[in-house]
Amino acid sequence: MTMDVKKTPGREVEHYVDPTPFNPAVTEEMTAEQERYYQASQWKIMWWKFKRHKIAVWSGVVLILFYLCVPFAEVIAPYGANSRDSMHLYAPPQPIHLFHDGSLVGPFVYGMTSEIDMETLQWVFKDDPNDVQPLRFFCSGAKYKFWGLWDASFHLVCPAEGGTMFLLGTDRLGRDQLSGLIYGARLSLTVGLIGVAISIVLGLFFGGIAGYFGGWIDSLIQRAIEILRSLPELPLWMALSAALPVTWSPVWIYFGLTIILGLLDWPGLARAVRSKLLSLREEEYAKAAVLMGAKPKRVITRHLLPGFTSHIIASATLSIPSMILGETALSYLNLGLRRPAVSWGVLLNEAQNISVVTVYPWLMAPVLPIIIVVLAFNFLGDGLRDAADPYK
């Protein structure tokens, strides 16, 4: 039976047909931006996410600049780390000037005249306004052995011929503070890296076997971690480094210290590895790999390890500052490195007596780079930690 279709009153609506062919996947199609995101590797996404954390990026840049001092300390520092100037004991910092008598000279320092104050028996240094000593750049100055291998005398910046350039003053024996800081960066900054490397190895090992085997091994390691974490770190560091034989050379003491710093730091990392391993083991992709017949070795290295490498890097970055501080504290207390080795803690050792510091405040100069580096590592670590989970 058919029915008459009654025409609706009013204007007839034109029937529109889209000429483009029908695509059933249209709702799942992505913009170019999304496409790029979903096709990027995990590390690329992390990098994008990290870049958004402006402070962390800048901290990274600052740290790279600091770490340039490690290979090139000899070139950057105007003086040797232990070279003494017996004419300038406790000399104050010489500020850099640009103008002399109203005319531009370029960067220069005024020479210093010195005399002994007979009442306090201290050297008193005064700027000599007539003695203009322009700084030299890319010059040949104090001789050194580059990396202990080649004789060289090239410096980025040197004092004028026969002049001085103590931008941060000198210490008790007339050693330049700035050069000390630059050479000190070499030990202070690497102590954390080597220490963290040791702590990562230990942490991965103990955390890995605890997380993988479980059972009584797990609970044994858990107990050990708990006990180690309940101990105050610094006194133990002090006791351990006091046990390093005094007869050791500075190089051996340095390695001994890094091992000590790493030995007490691994529990935190091991705990992170273990909990991450336990949670990743339950992930669906890990289960899928096991069901498809992957061997444990393949599951761990191909599926689990990439999942928490980023976390390990982030938490390792966050534990570097505590190691740098540990070295500084130990050397400051005379329990760590000693001259002729130079680190920031060794330099601070000169500032132990507060009455000396009150008279010669520039002895506290190492405090500044330490705080900057520690702060930068903290920001960088924060940024890395946020980026470590890019899919969140």
Partner 1 sequence: MLYYIVRRILMMVPTLLVISLLIFFIIELPSGDYISNQIAALKSSGESSSVAKLEFLRQEFSLDRPFMERYLIWVGLWPGPHGFDGLIQGNWGWSFEFDKPVEQVIGPTLPLTVVLNFATILFVYVVSFPIGIFSATRQYSWGDYGFTFLGYFGLATPNFLLALVLLYFFNRWFGLSVGGLMDPQYIDQPWSFDKAMSVLGHLIVPTIVIGTSGTAAMIRRLRANLLDELHKQYVTTGRAKGLKENQLLVKYPLRMAINPFIADIGNLIPSLVSGSVIVSVVMSLPTVGPVLVAALQSQDQFLSGFILLFVAVLTLIGMLISDLLLAVLDPRIRLGGRAST
Note the residues at the interface with partner 1 (CB under 8 A).
Answer: 226-227, 229-236, 238-240, 242-243, 245, 321, 325, 328-329, 332-335, 348, 351, 354, 357-358, 361, 364, 367, 370-371, 374-375, 378-379
Compute the Cα dihedral for 335, 337, 338, 344 and give only its sign: negative
CB 53 within 8 A of CB 382: yes
- Which is nearer to partner 1, 110 or 237 (by Cβ)? 237
CB of 55 to partner 1, least distance (A): 9
Task: Order across the sheet with 97-100: list the strands.
Answer: 97-100, 103-117, 122-134
Q: Which is nearer to partner 1, 306 or 361 (CB)?
A: 361
Burial class for 181, CB neighbours closer than 10 Å (0-12, 13-18, 19+)? buried
* Residue 67, both tokens: 């770490």
Distance CA 142, CA 163 (A): 12
- Nearest residue (CB) to partner 1, 133 versus 241: 241
Q: H/E element holding 307?
A: helix 305-332
Q: Residue 175 pairs with which residues in a beta bridge?
A: 84
What is the closest distance, in whole angstroms, from the C-beta atom of residue 318 to partner 1 in the complex? 11
Report the nearest approach of partner 1 to the CB of residue 238 (Å). 6
- Whichever of 68 and 234 has its CB closer to partner 1, that residue is 234
Query: Strand 103-117 relative to strand 122-134: parallel, antiparallel, unpaired?
Result: antiparallel
Burial of residue 69 (CB within 10 Å: 0-12, 13-18, 19+) is buried
**Residue 273: closest CA among 217, 216, 322, 201:** 201
Residue 273 Cα distances to 215, 302, 306, 345, angstroms: 16, 16, 12, 32
- For partner 1, the closer of residues 68 and 329 by Cβ is 329
Which one, 163 or 184, has the nearer CB to partner 1?
Answer: 184
Q: For partner 1, which is the closer residue by CB, 142 or 367?
A: 367
CB of 210 to partner 1, least distance (A): 15
Q: Closest Cα to residue 385, out of 54, 61, 64, 46?
A: 46
- Structural tokens at position 247: 């007869």
Which pair of structure tokens corresponds to residue 208? Answer: 């890995």
Question: Could you give the CA distance from residue 331 to residue 44 in angstroms, rounded to a whole number?
Answer: 41
Shortest distance (Å) from residue 293 CB to partner 1: 38
Look at the chain and count its residues: 392
Q: Please, are residues 331 and 348 in contact by the beta-carbon 8 Å criterion? A: yes
- Report in angstroms how near the CB of residue 373 gets to partner 1 at its nearest: 10
Q: Closest distance between partner 1 and the C-beta of residue 370, in Å?
A: 6
Nearer to partner 1, 206 or 379 (CB): 379
Task: Write down the least CB distance from residue 371 to partner 1, Å.
Answer: 6
